């Protein structure tokens, strides 16, 4: 398995862990002002996985021409 293909499930696992930590932190935090800072972790994770899928596709379909 190439490094790009191996990094896809790793990126998904890291994104899931970061999202779970954020959800837990938001549930545990008692903010008196009612303002909670949230980062778009699922969206960023999705974009990273999409980039890796496109890179993998290009590597496996067009990369063979370079070798």
Residue 9 corresponds to which tokens in the numbers above?
């499930």
- Residue 35: how many CB atoms within 10 A of its CB? 6
Within 13 Å of residue 9, how many CA atoms lie on the same side as its CB? 4
The more confident residue out of 6 and 33 is 6
Nearest to 5 by CA among 59, 47, 41: 59
**For 11-61, what is each residue's pLDDT tens digit?**
999 999 999 999 898 887 776 666 677 889 999 999 999 999 999 999 888
What does the pLDDT read at residue 11? 97
């Amino acid at each position: 398995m190439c490094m790009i293909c191996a990094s896809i499930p790793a990126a998904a696992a890291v994104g899931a862990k970061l999202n779970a930590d954020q959800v837990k932190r938001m549930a545990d935090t008692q903010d008196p002002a009612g303002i909670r800072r949230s980062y778009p972790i699922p969206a960023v994770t999705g974009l990273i996985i999409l980039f890796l899928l496109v890179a993998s596709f290009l590597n496996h379909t067009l990369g063979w021409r370079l070798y």
